[in-house]
Amino acid sequence: MIPPPYKNKVIEPIVLIAKEKRIKAIEEAGYNTFLLRSQDVYVDLLTDSGTSAMSDSQWSGMMLGDEAYAGSRNFYALEQAVSDVFGYKYVVPTHQGRAAEHLIAKILINKKGGCVPNNFYFTTSRVHQELAGGTWVDVGIPEANDPSNAHSFKGNIDADKLKQVIKNKKNIPFVRIEACLNMAGGQPFSMANIIQVSSICRRHGIFLLLDATRVVENAYFIKQRENGYSKKTLAEIIREICSYTDGCTMSSKKDHMVNMGGFLATNSKKVFEKAKELVVVYEGLHTYGGLAGRDMEAIARGIRESAECEEYVEHYVSQVRYLWEKLKKSGISVVEPAGAHAVFIDAKKFYPHIPQNRFPAQTLAAEIYVEGGVRVMERGIVSGKHGREAYNGPELVRVTIPRRVYDLAHLQYVVETIKSVSKSAKLPKGLKFVYEPPTLRFFQARFKKVK
């Protein structure tokens, strides 16, 4: 692993509480790591969302917040950064990524229904498409669903599947392509693929939406893995990706390393005009979209930092790779290949005796917390099953690394914790629902142990 291209100036103490207290804490949380109190967590690898460490430039930028209700200068800094790095003409800030997903789904689906092809899915993206009256459909390549397949671009869209959907369903409000496909293990799409998808969409006059949440790492993987990109800068690659699309939704809580914020950006004046109308209703005026001026300044600086300082991305991806290699060497089945923001453990292989309807990944996440106070997240049937439809997809635990927060010793500790859990893998029998929420059930669900 390369050394971090930064040093610490501010630290936050963390404490490992006693094992009996951890057992009690997870029981009180209904065996759901989302319901733990963070003060009971030692190493928090629940998510890379809003959990990163901002730079001195970002913190000092926050002191320059212009908190005017309208026309804050920080909005213009944000607009300029999006234009310089992404190349989109219009930007509407939002309080986080899902608010941008809400706006675009409302604007493009607009109660007319229709079918939205996506590479696999993200939880909130799918729900917003459905709440707006659309139908989600997966046009990802089949390799994305196979944790042991080491395809270099598991985030690709299957062009034949996409063409078929377009042929069969006349109403396609938009196509969504997600960078570093979260639910498949943080896996990138290739430039060749987005070029192909873009030309299909343009031929049929369909809006191509990029979920740019982890586009910086996607650009990094293109640079590493795809012919013709090794000499380009990340900024050039990001701009090229965006040039094939009509707009993006962004959760700046990941790549831009801020604690809150996101945006909808587009080249379509029509979409922008509609977004300006709607954002006032749901978020706030179009020059703040639910954010303070200081938040927009931190995002603007984060956009430039993430695209211009390649060492940050290189170090971050090398941390993920380190954790991935160590776990793999210890005999733990992990999703292939190493992805952008997290290592995903295959819980079906970890607990082959626990059937999927007894939630092996949820069980594993709870066991990892009890063993070492390490908080991770279920990414299997609890988060993937939708309504009444059957689910037999991947059953994973996501071990997610916040940007610029933990060091090598923390990662070594996490490896030892998971190795320890694997030594008693025969013991747990799985979990049963005590409370099952109707949507996005992973956030609030409660479980008890199967005896």
**Structure token pair of residue 45:** 């690898």
Label residue 342 exposed, middle or buried (CB < 10 Å: 0-12, 13-18, 19+): buried
What are the two backbone dihedrals, phi and then psi, of residue 272, each rounded to the nearest 5 degrees?
-60, -45
Candidate list 69, 269, 435, 439, residue with the active-site label: 69
Is residue 350 among the annotated active site residues?
no
If residue 343 lies in a helix (H) or strand (E), which one and from where to where?
Answer: strand 342-346
Is residue 442 among the annotated active site residues?
yes
266 strand-pairing partners = 90, 247
Candidate list 22, 223, 254, 441, residue with the active-site label: 254
Is residue 69 among the annotated active site residues?
yes
Candidate list 40, 158, 211, 246, residue with the active-site label: 211
Residue 241 CB, shortest distance to ligand F0G, in Å, is: 15
Place of tokens 């034949």: 160
200 touches 162 (CB < 8 A)? yes
Place of tokens 């209700």: 69
Residue 384 CB, shortest distance to ligand F0G, in Å, is: 13
Residue 420 CB, shortest distance to ligand F0G, in Å, is: 25
If residue 99 lies in a helix (H) or strand (E), which one and from where to where?
Answer: helix 97-109
Is residue 254 among the annotated active site residues?
yes
Residue 122 in the binding site for ligand F0G (CB under 6 A): yes
Is residue 379 among the annotated active site residues?
yes
Residue 293 in the binding site for ligand F0G (CB under 6 A): no
Residue 289 in the binding site for ligand F0G (CB under 6 A): no
If residue 131 lies in a helix (H) or strand (E), which one and from where to where?
Answer: helix 123-131
Is residue 221 among the annotated active site residues?
no
Candidate list 220, 229, 322, 442, residue with the active-site label: 442
Of residues 401 and 421, the one with the C-beta less far from ligand F0G: 401
If residue 225 lies in a helix (H) or strand (E), which one and from where to where?
Answer: helix 215-225
Closest residue to ligand F0G, judged by C-beta, is: 97
Place of tokens 């997870």: 26
Residues 45-64 that bind ligand F0G (CB under 6 A): 47, 49
* CA neighbor of 383 nearest in space, from 184, 146, 86, 87: 184
121 touches 368 (CB < 8 A)? no
Residue 388 CA, distance from chain mean position: 25
Residues 170-229 that bind ligand F0G (CB under 6 A): 178, 182, 211, 213
Which of the stretches 91-99, 133-141, 163-171, 345-353 binds ligand F0G when contact is defined by CB under 6 A?
91-99
Residues 187 and 165: their CA atoms lie apart, in Å, by 23
Is residue 126 among the annotated active site residues?
no
Label the pairing between strands 342-346 and 174-178: unpaired
Residue 319 in the binding site for ligand F0G (CB under 6 A): no
Of residues 315 and 398, the one with the C-beta less far from ligand F0G: 398
379 strand-pairing partners = 396
What is the pattern of x (binds ligand F0G, CB under 6 A) and - over residues 235-274? ----------------x-x--------x------------
Q: What is the DSSP string of 241-273?
A: HHHTSSEEEEETTSTT--SS-EEEEES-HHHHH
Q: Is the peptide bond before 337 cis (omega within 30 degrees of 0)?
A: yes
Of residues 138 and 430, the one with the C-beta less far from ligand F0G: 138
Residue 378 in the binding site for ligand F0G (CB under 6 A): no
Query: Of 22, 98, 128, 315, which one interacts with ligand F0G (CB under 6 A)?
Result: 98
Of residues 358 and 403, the one with the C-beta less far from ligand F0G: 403
- Catalytic residue list: 69, 122-123, 211, 254, 379, 442
- Binding residues for ligand F0G (CB under 6 A): 47, 49, 96-98, 122, 124-125, 178, 182, 211, 213, 251, 253, 262
